[in-house]
Structure 1
């Protein structure tokens, strides 16, 4: 519900909200400019002194106004001709034109009413309502993503677009809440939806009938400082029955022009004070610094809106369109999906279609949206969960376990968990196992025992479907047909061969960046933007399952580079190792933001062996800012498979690589990267104390050995790899 409440106002009112934010940000500059440019009265100056000086220069003065910025404007008649000027309170003489700034006037009309008078004011008010809804719902979503209000400023993980969206939102949300709420109040006041605000004293029934009392002799003007003045109106010349009208920050009063006596006074009402405070908070008039700060926060709106739209579009592309997906309140079977690359959503769509044909109302949602209160009709839950990395939650399942833990009681509707993974990895379906264990600990009844699908096997999915059908007393045949990813043709430009002498043929393959369309260049999609650590997907002939290779280059390098080792019987590695310069390869790009080096200055400890050096070399190549990087690289023999040897030496000279430690596993005294780490534990621990991030890439056995060595090293500090992982300071790309 909250997500939908955030999404649709943002998408529908995006252009209007951005227009209001940008025009408001531009208007926020004028109060500060006015404050800096207007001559200011001395703190001790009284209204009597100011009025006397202006009256000497402009004998026909009719009105004196002071704006919240301190600018003083005089209005007069000279031989029947009206005049006005911004005056210097020290002399009473005009120093600038009182005419409104045409740019400010144009922006104000745009911001208030879109040049459409009252109808435009209602449209602008609707934009303010949309912004308020977005700010409130966004605040709740940020707190949910961070893991609670206490973790509001917790470090973020995930795709760059999402991080930008949330970082800007949580920095600007207070200003947006204030701006939108005050805009709604001001619109309601303009159209009379609030009580009458103005309270003025009754006009005096009797006056002295005299004229000519010196301004310096009027007690009220003498006792009122200029800093409190809002407006002083003079009596009409020659009319002995007229009076002075004085308006200040405290109220409004009338003064006899012959005696200077106060003939009536009314303090500001509560509504007036509230309205003026609202006006000040919204416009910055009288609080220039606050206005600039709110304007700066408003500038975040177009970026937050654009990144939000990108996130929405990416989500739609990552999920198949599920026709007939019933609302959560009506779903009797609730399918919750935990997917990283999008393939698990395809299985969810197949299951949804089969159950719908069997007459079941089915609701499909990401695991991150799990909320039993939203699914009161649920008679069963089905979780389809992939695993990311070493047993971690995939992208669409973030926060599921925390939500489950916060429930006072588990749902009464039974649960079935199906895990998706690759048996070649040690944490095969590790996240699905964690989900089932947490559900059982919570007392959630099980509909089926945990089952798994290896390498997106349609046959294993169909087998599980038949078991689910038996539990539901229906025939359930799941005919899943994986969608082949859309690929781009890459041309190999060069290759460097290694490892022949140690029976581990390896090559660094460099491809030309494919020709990009204008739309791809403008939107930075596909191969227009990628980083070292992202993945190149290749679907080998005779298979529907893609193989992924970590990129050793970024789009700024001007080429696509991977490191490949030939595996016995490997369809994909064999095809890649057979490529020669000029040959082409059908491939696609898959973002892997969790394994990016980032752009901060925190030191990096890079650990890799064999082909795991690929993305690490890409990080070093991109280190133009010369952040401290210590690389630990394991190889079999330096004369055979010392990958990137020449580049590493050059990068060390350029300052891109601070330190290189190698480990050779073949020879009289085998030495592995975990041994190299242990031998240089002082340098490693010193870097970690300084906020270093550890990044490990390579085979699972190597990664396990590195984690054990790190655990022993960190134990005296009261730390562990798990603690660093929780902080985003220990990441792995393991295969």
Structure 2
């Protein structure tokens, strides 16, 4: 409901909001310019002082006005002709014309009424209402997305349009809400819905017919500072009994021109003061800095209007139409997708294609289209569900649980749920968990237990795919590519070979950096910017799917380095292992944001085996700040595949690596990396108690053994690997 409330007012009123906010931002500049350019008035100057100087310079004075920005304007008759000017309060002389700026008048009319008089004023009021709805509903949606109000400025992930939209909203929502509220109040005043009657001093006449004394000698004016003045109108000597009228910030009054004494005074009402404050907040007149700040916030609205429409349109076209899928009643495998931003649809398409290549008939649909009565031929239902906000259903899953609850009997077809989320949030895969729990509570059979994919990890997805294939009795390799960028030719500059003695050929391959433009480096595109732990994708000759290898270097090192092990029958690893210096291979860069060592000085525990040492070596290489790093490295034998041995010694000498612990599975006394973890548990506990992070890279079996060992090791500290994962302090890159 909240998203609908946010979406449609934004789409319908987008053009009007752009006009209102851009014109409002332009108008916010004028009060600031006035406050800067207006001649200054001494704090001790009274209205009597000012009026005397202006009256001396312009004997036919009719009125003096002080704008909220501090500019003094005067209006007078000279030789029977009206004239005006901006006044220097120190001399009373004219320094500029007081005529309104025609550009400002045009922008004001555009802002208030779209240049359409009363019809335009109604449209402007409706636009302000739409903006208020957008601001309030948007604030709720932002809080949901980031995990709660306390996480308002938490880091964002997702597409560019969505991130820009939310980043601007987080900063501008207060200003936009304030502008919308004050605009609605002013519109209500314009149309008489709120009656703010101007203060009137009441009827009063001069007490004598004596000649008026000069304004500079009037006691009533001598008690009022210029900063409080709104307007002053001298008496008309041709009209018997006429008085001097004055309006200030606190009220209005009349003065006897013969004595200079106040003969009637009316205080401004509370409603008048509220109205004046609202006018000041909305226009910035009287608060120039606030006006500029609100104007800058208003500039965010056009950008958010554009990004909002782009997000809506992307959502309209995001659900893919995949060739080869069949109708719901013909499919043996039904894939249902719950996606908010569209990324889960990409995983679903990868899954559907792989299943169809394996000979399966597949139906692909959104979770909101759930209709179990149509799945007559289905042997399994696969639900891929993202989570929106605080455990809510994503856009394409609306109504799924309601439809499930309305089914008289649970479907006979078994179900499995795969959740997509971010372990950094407390409600990690919360909606997928709800779906799984509700299905089990309804008695729906489970094909596989609930599993999850953390931060769109292709490795998690591939692992789940292998498990699904095993259950289905087919070989299922899910290689998910959000979109393969253009490949670059990488030239091998050196290689170091290991593992021949244990019949496991392995090599550290170092490639030269490909040429990148300044624009690519500034934007971080292609190979312009990368870090250890990122991936390079290599498409082997004669194949269509890439293989990914973790980088052991960053762009600051001036080269790309990976570790490759020759796999039996491995096409890609075979071709890479056959490279000699000077040879080239086509590759592209893939960010791996889920496997980063982070910033700060907290200890780092790195655990890896075999080729999994590559990104860990890269993290140590980049540790120029000398944070405490403990490396646990599993290898076969020190004489065969002790990769980076020389570098580790050098990095220890430079303070980049504090401890190195090795486990040799082919030594005289075989050990695996989890065995060494138990032996050196004190170092791990010390690191975790001081806010440390654990990073694991390597094969699935190794990672499973490491997790089991850490369950025991961390127990005295009262934490578990799962708890650390939820905090982002336990990350894996497992294959």
TM-score after normalising by structure 2: 0.71
Provide the C-alpha distance between the structure 1 equivalents of 2:587 and 2:317, rounded to a whole number of angstroms: 18
Alignment of 1:683-698 (within 5 A): 688-689=688-689, 691-698=691-698
Provide the C-alpha distance between the structure 2 equivalents of 1:662 and 1:517, rounded to a whole number of angstroms: 41
Residue 82 of structure 1: aligned partner? 83
Alignment of 1:296-335 (within 5 A): 297-298=297-298, 319-321=319-321, 335=336
Residue 346 of structure 2: aligned partner? 342
Residue 492 of structure 1: aligned partner? 490
Q: Is the 8 A contact 1:23 1:110 kept in 2?
A: no
Provide the C-alpha distance between the structure 2 equivalents of 1:156 and 1:593, rounded to a whole number of angstroms: 12
Q: What's the CA shift for 1:562?
A: 3.6
Residue 391 of structure 2: aligned partner? 399
Q: What's the CA shift for 1:600?
A: 6.2
Residue 442 of structure 2: aligned partner? 444
Q: Is the 8 A contact 2:219 2:261 kept in 1?
A: yes
Which SS does the other structure have where 1:694 is aligned? strand
Q: Is the 8 A contact 2:114 2:124 kept in 1?
A: no
| RMSD (Å) for aligned C-alpha atoms | 5.7
Provide the C-alpha distance between the structure 2 equivalents of 1:15 and 1:521, rounded to a whole number of angstroms: 36
Q: What's the CA shift for 1:139?
A: 1.7
Identify if the C-alpha distance between structure 1 residues 397 and 215 changes in structure 2 by more than 3 Å, giving closer, same or farther. Answer: closer
Q: For each residue in 1:107-166, what CA deviation from the matched residue of structure 2 results, as whole angstroms up to 9, or x when unmatched?
A: 9559827995758877876765554343233222223224445x4438446448566654
Residue 457 of structure 2: aligned partner? none
Provide the C-alpha distance between the structure 2 equivalents of 1:514 and 1:504, rounded to a whole number of angstroms: 30
Q: Is the 8 A contact 1:385 1:432 kept in 2?
A: no
Q: For each residue in 1:294-341, what CA deviation from the matched residue of structure 2 results, as whole angstroms up to 9, or x when unmatched?
A: 355446557766776786788789752489x9xxxxxxx993336658
Q: For each residue in 1:349-393, what CA deviation from the matched residue of structure 2 results, as whole angstroms up to 9, or x when unmatched?
A: 9999xxxx99x9x9615xxxx8xxxx899979997445xxxxxx8
Provide the C-alpha distance between the structure 1 equivalents of 2:543 and 2:353, rounded to a whole number of angstroms: 21
Alignment of 1:514-553 (within 5 A): 531-538=531-538, 547-553=547-553
Q: Which piece of structure 1 moves more, 449-458 or 66-75?
A: 449-458
Q: Is the 8 A contact 2:71 2:86 kept in 1?
A: no
Provide the C-alpha distance between the structure 2 equivalents of 1:660 and 1:107, rounded to a whole number of angstroms: 71
Identify if the C-alpha distance between structure 1 residues 727 and 35 changes in structure 2 by more than 3 Å, giving closer, same or farther. Answer: farther
Q: What's the CA shift for 1:177?
A: 1.7
Residue 660 of structure 2: aligned partner? 661
Q: Is the 8 A contact 2:601 2:628 kept in 1?
A: no
Residue 213 of structure 1: aligned partner? 213
Q: What's the CA shift for 1:733?
A: 1.5
Identify if the C-alpha distance between structure 1 residues 431 and 62 changes in structure 2 by more than 3 Å, giving closer, same or farther. Answer: closer
Provide the C-alpha distance between the structure 2 equivalents of 1:120 and 1:620, rounded to a whole number of angstroms: 64
Residue 250 of structure 1: aligned partner? 250
Identify if the C-alpha distance between structure 1 residues 165 and 727 changes in structure 2 by more than 3 Å, giving closer, same or farther. Answer: farther
Q: For each residue in 1:273-301, what CA deviation from the matched residue of structure 2 results, as whole angstroms up to 9, or x when unmatched?
A: 44322222223333445445435544655
Matched, 1:566 2:566: yes
Q: For each residue in 1:427-464, what CA deviation from the matched residue of structure 2 results, as whole angstroms up to 9, or x when unmatched?
A: xxx999956652256x3352775589987989989x98
Residue 330 of structure 2: aligned partner? none
Q: What's the CA shift for 1:700?
A: 2.7
Identify if the C-alpha distance between structure 1 residues 28 and 589 changes in structure 2 by more than 3 Å, giving closer, same or farther. Answer: same
Residue 364 of structure 1: aligned partner? 366
Residue 144 of structure 2: aligned partner? 144
Identify if the C-alpha distance between structure 1 residues 714 and 82 changes in structure 2 by more than 3 Å, giving closer, same or farther. Answer: farther
Which SS does the other structure have where 1:439 is aligned? helix
Alignment of 1:10-89 (within 5 A): 28=28, 31=31, 46-52=46-52, 54-55=54-55, 59-76=59-76, 82-88=83-89
Q: Which piece of structure 1 moves more, 565-574 or 708-717?
A: 708-717
Q: Which runs of 5+ in 2 are unaligned?
A: 326-333, 420-428, 451-460, 473-477
Provide the C-alpha distance between the structure 1 equivalents of 2:703 and 2:490, rounded to a whole number of angstroms: 30
Identify if the C-alpha distance between structure 1 residues 607 and 163 changes in structure 2 by more than 3 Å, giving closer, same or farther. Answer: farther
Q: What's the CA shift for 1:493?
A: 0.9
Residue 282 of structure 2: aligned partner? 282
Q: Is the 8 A contact 1:211 1:240 kept in 2?
A: no
TM-score after normalising by structure 1: 0.71
Provide the C-alpha distance between the structure 2 equivalents of 1:715 and 1:481, rounded to a whole number of angstroms: 36
Q: What's the CA shift for 1:634?
A: 0.8
Alignment of 1:111-122 (within 5 A): 112=111
Residue 507 of structure 1: aligned partner? 507
Provide the C-alpha distance between the structure 2 equivalents of 1:594 and 1:102, rounded to a whole number of angstroms: 56
Which SS does the other structure have where 2:662 is aligned? strand
Which SS does the other structure have where 2:731 is aligned? strand
Q: Is the 8 A contact 2:563 2:614 kept in 1?
A: yes
Q: Which piece of structure 1 moves more, 585-594 or 495-504?
A: 585-594
Q: What's the CA shift for 1:255?
A: 3.2
Q: What's the CA shift for 1:559?
A: 5.9
Provide the C-alpha distance between the structure 2 equivalents of 1:510 and 1:10, rounded to a whole number of angstroms: 51
Provide the C-alpha distance between the structure 2 equivalents of 1:32 and 1:513, rounded to a whole number of angstroms: 51
Q: Is the 8 A contact 1:492 1:581 kept in 2?
A: no
Which SS does the other structure have where 1:722 is aligned? helix
Residue 720 of structure 2: aligned partner? 720
Q: Is the 8 A contact 2:629 2:657 kept in 1?
A: yes
Q: What's the CA shift for 1:535?
A: 3.8
Identify if the C-alpha distance between structure 1 residues 543 and 432 changes in structure 2 by more than 3 Å, giving closer, same or farther. Answer: farther
Residue 628 of structure 1: aligned partner? 627
Q: Is the 8 A contact 1:340 1:396 kept in 2?
A: no
Q: Which runs of 5+ in 1 are unaligned?
A: 326-332, 387-392, 422-429, 465-479
Which SS does the other structure have where 1:696 is aligned? strand
Which SS does the other structure have where 1:136 is aligned? helix
Q: Is the 8 A contact 1:677 1:709 kept in 2?
A: yes
Q: Which piece of structure 1 moves more, 215-224 or 695-704?
A: 215-224
Q: For each residue in 1:27-77, what CA deviation from the matched residue of structure 2 results, as whole angstroms up to 9, or x when unmatched?
A: 656656655676766777654454345545655544333333445444555
Provide the C-alpha distance between the structure 1 equivalents of 2:127 and 2:523, rounded to a whole number of angstroms: 27
Q: For each residue in 1:508-555, what CA deviation from the matched residue of structure 2 results, as whole angstroms up to 9, or x when unmatched?
A: 445567788999899866666655434444566787765443344556
Q: Is the 8 A contact 1:603 1:629 kept in 2?
A: yes
Residue 458 of structure 2: aligned partner? none
Provide the C-alpha distance between the structure 2 equivalents of 1:729 and 1:519, rounded to a whole number of angstroms: 34
Q: For each residue in 1:559-601, what CA deviation from the matched residue of structure 2 results, as whole angstroms up to 9, or x when unmatched?
A: 6554322222334433443445566656565543322345667
Which SS does the other structure have where 2:170 is aligned? helix
